[in-house]
Amino acid sequence: MEKIAVLDSGGQYCHLIARKVRELGVYAEILPIEASPARLRAYKGVIISGGPSSVFDEDSPQARPGLYRISKPILGICYGHQLMAQAMKGVVEQGKTQEFGRADIRVRSAEPLFRGLPKKQRVWMSHGDHVAQPPAGFQVLADTPGCSVAAMGDLQRNYYGFQFHPEVVHTKFGSEILKNFVVGVCGCRQDWHPEDRVEQLIARIRKDAHGRRVLFFMSGGVDSTVAYALTVRALGTETVHGIYVDTGFMREGETEQIEAAFQKLGLGHLQTFKAAGQFFKGLQGVTDPEQKRAIIGQAFVDIQDEIVEREEHTGHDWLLGQGTIYPDTIESGGKGQAAVIKTHHNRVQRIQELIAEGRILEPLAEFYKDEVRVLGRALGLPKALVDRHPFPGPALAIRCICSALAEKPEADEEIDALARRSGYRAFLLPLRSVGVQGDSRSYAKLTVLWGGELDYKKLLPLATEITNRYRRTNRIVALIGRKRIQPGEWKIRRATLTRPRVKLLQAADHIVTDFLRSEGLYGKIWQAPVVLLPFSRGGGETVALRPITSVDGMTAEVARLNPQRVLELAARISKLEGVDAVMYDLSHKPPSTIEWE
C-alpha torsion angle, residues 190, 191, 193, 197 (rounded to 10): -150
Q: Give the whole-angstrom CA distance, residue 223 versus residue 248.
A: 20
Q: How far is the CB of 138 from ligand XMP (least distance, A)?
A: 37
Decide whether 82 or 225 has the Cβ nearer to ligand XMP: 225
Stretch that binds ligand XMP, among 94-102, 245-253, 310-318, 385-393 (CB under 6 A): 385-393
Give the pairing of strands 120-127 and 440-450: unpaired
Non-local CB neighbours of 229 within 8 Å, separated by 6+ positions: 265, 267, 376, 379, 381
Q: Count other C-beta atoms under 10 Å from residue 379's C-beta.
A: 19
Query: Which range, of 109-117, 118-126, 230-238, 340-348, touches ligand XMP by CB under 6 A?
Result: 340-348
Q: Is 72 helix (H, G, I), strand (E, B) or coil?
A: coil
Residue 144 or 224 with smaller CB distance to ligand XMP: 224
Nearer residue to ligand XMP within complex by CB, 223 or 580: 223
Query: Interacting stretch for ligand XMP, rule CB under 6 A, among 64-72, 253-261, 271-279, 391-399?
Result: 391-399
CA pair distance 187, 14, nearest whole angstrom: 21
From the candidates 14, 15, 78, 541, give the one annotated as an active-site residue: 78
User: Which of 191-199, 338-346, 357-365, 421-429 is the region at the interface with ligand XMP (rule: CB under 6 A)?
Assistant: 338-346
State the minimum distance, in angstroms, from the CB of residue 567 to ligand XMP.
26
From the list 134, 321, 393, 590, which residue makes contact with ligand XMP (rule: CB under 6 A)? 393
Out of 363, 392, 435, 590, name the contact with ligand XMP by CB under 6 A: 392
The site for ligand XMP, by CB under 6 A, has a size of 14
Do residues 522 and 501 lie in contact, with contact meaning Cβ atoms separated by under 8 Å? no
**SS3 sequence, 390-422?**
CCCCCHHHHHECCECCCECCECCHHHHHHHHHC
Contact region with ligand XMP (CB under 6 A), list: 120-128, 388-396, 480-488, 563-571: 388-396
> Residue 197 to residues 16, 214, 379, 383, 466: CA-CA distances in angstroms?
21, 21, 11, 20, 45
Residue 148 CA to residue 319 CA, distance in Å, equals 55
Nearer to ligand XMP, 458 or 589 (CB): 589
* Residues 572-591 interacting with ligand XMP (rule: CB under 6 A): 589
Cβ proximity to ligand XMP, 72 vs 345, nearer residue: 345
- Asked if residue 527 binds ligand XMP (CB under 6 A), the reply is yes
Q: How far apart are the two ends of the chain, measured CA to CA in Å? A: 39
Q: Residue 549 contacts by C-beta under 8 Å, 6 or more apart in sequence?
A: 524, 525, 526, 556, 557, 558, 559
547 scored as a contact of ligand XMP (CB under 6 A): no
Q: How far is the CB of 393 from ligand XMP (least distance, A)?
A: 4
Least separation in angstroms between residue 456's CB and ligand XMP is: 20
Convert 165-204 to b/e letters by CB count within 10 Å (16 or more is b): bbbbeebbbbbbbbbbbbbbbbebeeebebeebbeebbee
CA–CA gap between residue 255 and residue 400 (Å, rounded)? 19
Q: Is-contact 553 369, C-beta < 8 A?
A: yes
Instruction: Output 446 or 594, the one with its CB closest to ligand XMP.
Output: 594
Is 188 assigned a catalytic role?
A: no
Beta strand 159-162 with 147-154: parallel, antiparallel or unpaired? antiparallel
Minimum distance of ligand XMP from residue 15's CB (angstroms): 11
CB of 282 to ligand XMP, least distance (A): 16
Near ligand XMP by CB under 6 A: residue from 3, 20, 345, 501: 345
Q: Where are the alpha helices (DSSP H) in 210-337?
A: 222-235, 254-265, 276-282, 289-310, 326-331
**Segment interacting with ligand XMP, rule: CB under 6 A, options 37-45, 132-140, 339-347, 515-523:** 339-347
Contact between 461 and 587 (Cβ < 8 Å) = no
What does the alpha-carbon distance between residue 17 and residue 153 come to, in Å, rounded to a whole number? Answer: 19
Catalytic entry in 15, 81, 127, 165: 165
Whether 400 is a known active-site residue: answer no
309 vs 192, 215, 315, CA distance in Å?
42, 12, 10
Q: How far apart are CA 261 and CA 273, in angstroms?
A: 17
Question: Which of 393/409 has CB closer to ligand XMP?
Answer: 393
Q: How far is the CB of 362 from ligand XMP (least distance, A)?
A: 12
Catalytic annotation on 165? yes
**214 residue type, one letter:** V
Rounded Cα gap, residues 393 and 218, in angstroms: 9
Q: Which is nearer to ligand XMP, 239 or 549 (by Cβ)?
A: 549
Residue selected from 390, 435, 547, 591 as contacting ligand XMP according to rule CB under 6 A: 390
* 3-class secondary structure, 292: helix
| Minimum CB distance to ligand XMP smaller for 270 or for 372 | 372
Among 197, 342, 458, 501, binds ligand XMP (CB under 6 A): 342
In single-letter form, the type of residue at position 430 comes to: P
Stretch that binds ligand XMP, among 11-19, 182-190, 341-349, 537-545 (CB under 6 A): 341-349
Distances (CA, A) of 70 to 41, 74, 385: 7, 10, 45
Binds ligand XMP (CB under 6 A): choice among 80, 334, 547, 553? 553
Q: CB 120: neighbour CB atoms within 10 A?
A: 11
Residue 150 · residue 78 · CB < 8 Å? no
Q: Which residues pair with 490 in a beta bridge?
A: none
Given 14, 130, 147, 167, which residue is catalytic? 167
| One-character DSSP codes across 533-593 | E-EESSS-EEEEE--EE-SSSSSBEE----HHHHHHHHHHHHTSTTEEEEEEE---BTTB-
Binding mask 129-148 for ligand XMP (x = CB under 6 A): --------------------
C-beta of 304 vs 593, nearer to ligand XMP: 593
Q: Residue 49, interface with ligand XMP (CB under 6 A)?
A: no
Nearest distance, CB of residue 67 and ligand XMP, angstroms: 31
Position among 134, 174, 248, 394 found at the interface with ligand XMP (CB under 6 A):
394
* Closer residue to ligand XMP, CB minimum distance, 220 or 481: 220
Active site residue ranges: 78, 165, 167
Interface contacts to ligand XMP, rule CB under 6 A: 341-342, 344-345, 390, 392-394, 527, 553, 589, 593-595
